[in-house]
Amino acid sequence: MDQRMAFQLLYSNAARAEIKVLRAFDRQRIVSTVESLLRHQPTNTSRSRIKQMTQPFWSQYRLRVDDFRVYFDVDEVHQTVHILHVIAKATDSTPENEP
């Protein structure tokens, strides 16, 4: 079993507002995925879920959750994950500037 300390998840006011307006099903799916994937290994990138963004970009990482994208930064020194934004993918491309 992994003995590393769990990361603290901190949601920005913008991310909280973006999650709040979603359908209950989507809200639950996003929060549970964030909890399961970002709590212990937020920098564990993969082809399908977590992507490290090419810098300069307004977030360090992006997590795919169905039709939504969760943008976040990781502070490994303080063991925190800062959830910045939750954006519906729709047909829009990845925003170059922070929403």
pLDDT tier, 19 (very low <50, low <70, confident <90, very high otherwise): very high
Q: What is the mean pLDDT of the chain?
A: 89
* pTM for this prediction: 0.87
Query: Does residue 26 or residue 99 have the better pLDDT?
Result: 26
pLDDT tier, 1 (very low <50, low <70, confident <90, very high otherwise): very low
- Spatial contact of 69 and 87, defined as CB atoms under 8 Å apart: yes
Using CA atoms, how far residue 50 sits from 3, 21, 75, 92, in Å, is: 22, 24, 16, 19
pLDDT digits (tens, 9 = 90+) for 21-60: 999 999 999 999 999 999 999 999 988 899 999 888 899 9
Domains of the chain listed by start with CATH number: 8-88 (3.30.2310.20)
Please, what is the end-to-end C-alpha distance for the chain in angstroms? Answer: 38
* Three-state SS annotation for the chain: CCCCCCCEEEECHHHHHHHHCCCHHHHHHHHHHHHHHHCCCCCCCCCCCEEECCCCCCCCEEEEECCEEEEEEEECCCCEEEEEEEEECCCCCCCCCCC
pLDDT given at position 98? 72
